[in-house]
Structure 1
Amino acid sequence: MTTQNHGIFCGIVPPHVLDRLAQADDAARAEAAQRTLEHDSAHRTRRRVTALRGVAAPAGTPSDSPRRTIYDAQHRATQPGKKVHSEGEAPSKDATVNRANAGLGATFDLYLKVYGRHSIDDAGLPLDATVHYGQGYNNAFWDGSQMVFGDGDGDIFLDFTIPVDVIGHELTHGVTQHTANLEYYGQSGALNESVSDVFGSLIKQYALGQTTDQADWLIGQGLLGPGIDHGVALRSMKEPGTAYDDDVLGKDPQPATMDDYVRTSRDNGGVHINSGIPNRAFYLVASALGGHAWERAGKVWYATLTGGELASDAQFADFARLTAATARTLYGEGDEVQAVLKAWSQVGVPTS
């Protein structure tokens, strides 16, 4: 048996942001963005080749402890690089290595302690990460088997290991790959991105012990550099479309409801854009239920993703119907079901 892999390169920075930066008047900014786009394009090609071969089914040994290894690419575009930290070793003198290690651990902890999942594949997959990738590389990505982090250019973006939700977001692409394997195009692709935002945010909230009203619901807060005057993060789950409005980055294009759904052929049919709609739905569910979002709201989303009924080409309405059914199965006809139904209604997605 093989787990099919759609061969998608999943980076945290949307292509529309990098495209805009590549056209900047500032030559250094444009060059850094262009270099990142070229790297990303090469990775997409390699991932498509990998997808044609298929991916072996999980065959590891589940454990209640992570197996983390951090590699240093030493500013070259190579993977994995030189091994610089193994599980159980004392902290490194390199803060980037320590942040990557901690982020992998925080992700492992949420999935194990809240959802009973043993690593990304539920079979004890070792968690590998490469840091200091490339020269001023403005992205972080999951390549189908490991994490890769750029240092950023120090101007538009800082070190990509800084926000733990970015690490959680990218690793969750691996969880999706091993479960529903949502196709990375159109609405199923936007769901793929949204699921990563949801669990990236939950990993951050769980690590900080935050309740729904204490969380910032931002993806990539702390990532934007000194060259950005008007921006707080890459995305806002609470208020899609408000994360940035800046001369350099442009205006955050995410819609909050289906009324503003963006039809485009770019970005695999707008996967980083229209993900704002299911993101907002999750935020509304979590806020209505209160407490810790990883509990009731998170369990509904996790069970929907991993339950076996979510088709790889699922549309928003399919996902909405399944979350309502899952809430009913888990909690009966209570507040949870009503919160789910109301949230999808508020963002304009039908549940029946």
Structure 2
Amino acid sequence: MANRCRCINCITPPHILKRLLENPDSRIRDAALRTLLTTSRLRGERRALGLAAFAAAAPSQGRRTIFDCADSTSIRLATLARTEDGPNSRDDSVNRAFDGLGNTRQFYKQVMDRDSLDGRGMRLAGYVHYGVNYNNAFWDGSEMIFGDGDGVLFTDFTKSLDVIAHELTHGVTEFTAGLEYHNQSGALNESISDVFGSLVKQWAANQTADQADWLIGAEVFTPDIGGDALRSMKAPGTAYNNPTLGRDPQPDQMSKYVHLPDTDDGDNGGVHINSGIPNKAFYLTANGIGGYAWEAPGHIWYAALQASTATMNFQEFADTTYLKAGQLYGSQSSEQQAVLSAWKEVGVPISGVRSLAGTADRMRRQSPVAASNGRDQDEGEVMRQIQLLSGQLATLTKQVASLRSRPH
């Protein structure tokens, strides 16, 4: 795909690692420095390799293979640790990575009817024990990489199912919308991964939306501090607050959007920070609908992702979720109203709702004869016409987004 992301998608935000460079503990400081330097080198390599590095593997029904890097940062030197048909490993990290890849694969197959990341059975490869005290996990466009953490503020990244599903979902995004990894489209890219990372965890635990903790990376982040995480979808900006790391900078409302430089140092325009806004919109949608979040809310977001363009911004994505909710569950349905309310609460009101609602109102007020040119028109026909209007508006939205993405 022309729009596929050529970047390293890491779970640990750069602002956390930079804060750790100031830590008085040399173990923490050195681990953060090594993580930042290694990640920067990997980004440079990926940019140099370009699209060649992202050639899709041959279809293989999502077969899993886990490799052991043995503290090296060269995956070419990694040794085979476990295969789809092989026995369990004696290494817990290998088995956790294997199971996490499997849970994510099964979620997309059973819930979203998607065959692996690319929808065509792409092989899933994972590499554990990457680097020394490496404080990150990432998807590099071809495989999943896990660090062991510094043992003080971070622990083995294979311990968090939502981290594994988050990173693999970057692959799903690459093969669908190809959301560009900067500014609002990049924040959406990160948010989509948080959404489906959390949904995989909730699905595996059979939790309803009100039972879930909506935390990302709680199992691997600050193991000696309870109740915190890398991010909170339920309450962005509250995931952590301590002297070592400072306060979680994520906004939960568009009025608090953080404007950062579109550079590596600026987190590509704050993609790990501003993702809090669409994260909160999904959380509110899921709780507004109730029940299992991977059902109606998850299907609405997945349909919106499939309909998105590479340069989608928050407003365009919000509008798309509203339209998809109408197409999947009916115009003015409780599901669509939950989407409408959620985006409004985070400061991204849906575009064109007033005119669409007015059209529906007028149609309902018309007499059966006038509305159908002499034929009786029941409520079902009215709703079908409203859904047709929603579809037409969705098409126009995509066309406008496409025009905006063309060079002038």
Give the structure-2-normalised TM-score: 0.82
Shift in Å, 1:88: 2.3
- Where relative contact order (Cα < 8 A, 6+ residues apart) is larger, the structure is 1
Shift in Å, 1:46: 1.4
Relative to 1, partners in 2 of residues 1:17 and 1:59: Cα closer, same or farther, differing over 3 Å? Answer: closer
Relative to 1, partners in 2 of residues 1:59 and 1:96: Cα closer, same or farther, differing over 3 Å? Answer: closer
Q: Distance in 2 between matches of 1:294 and 1:198?
A: 9
Q: Please say if residues 104 and 127 of structure 1, whose CA atoms lie closer than 8 Å, have aligned partners that are also in contact.
A: yes
| Alignment map for 1:129-140 (pairs within 5 Å) | 129-140=126-137
**Which residue pairs with 1:61 in the alignment?**
59
Which of 300, 318, 321 is matched with 1:320 structurally?
318
The 3-state SS of whatever aligns with 1:84 is strand
**Which residue pairs with 1:216 in the alignment?**
213
Q: Which has the higher helix share?
A: 2
Query: One-letter code of the match for 1:259?
Result: S
Q: Distance in 2 between matches of 1:145 and 1:52?
A: 11
Shift in Å, 1:346: 0.2
Structure of greater Rg: 2
Which of 122, 127, 131 is matched with 2:124 structurally?
127
Deviations 1:89-118 (A, max 9, x none): 221111101100010001001100011100
| Alignment map for 1:170-249 (pairs within 5 Å) | 170-226=167-223, 229=225, 232-249=228-245
Shift in Å, 1:4: 3.6
The 3-state SS of whatever aligns with 1:339 is helix
The total of aligned residue pairs comes to: 345
Deviations 1:177-230 (A, max 9, x none): 11100011110000000000000000000111111111100000111235x647
**Which residue pairs with 1:281 in the alignment?**
281
**Which residue pairs with 1:348 in the alignment?**
347
Q: Which moved more, 1:2-11 or 1:25-34?
A: 2-11
The 3-state SS of whatever aligns with 2:96 is helix
**Which residue pairs with 2:366 in the alignment?**
none
Q: Please say if residues 300 and 325 of structure 2, whose CA atoms lie closer than 8 Å, have aligned partners that are also in contact.
A: yes
Q: Distance in 1 between matches of 2:297 and 2:166?
A: 17
User: Is 1:144 the equivalent of 2:141?
Assistant: yes
* Cα RMSD for the two superposed structures: 1.4
**Which residue pairs with 1:305 in the alignment?**
305
**Which residue pairs with 1:261 in the alignment?**
257
Q: What percentage of residue pairs aligned between the two structures are identical?
A: 52
Q: Distance in 2 between matches of 1:155 and 1:129?
A: 24
Deviations 1:282-301 (A, max 9, x none): 00000011111000000000
Q: Distance in 2 between matches of 1:289 and 1:119?
A: 28
Give unmatched runs, 5+ long, in structure 1.
none
Give unmatched runs, 5+ long, in structure 2.
352-408
**Which residue pairs with 1:294 in the alignment?**
294
Give the structure-1-normalised TM-score: 0.95
Q: Distance in 2 between matches of 1:107 and 1:295?
A: 16
The 3-state SS of whatever aligns with 1:300 is helix
Shift in Å, 1:311: 1.4
**Which residue pairs with 1:18 in the alignment?**
17
Deviations 1:219-243 (A, max 9, x none): 00111235x6476110000000111
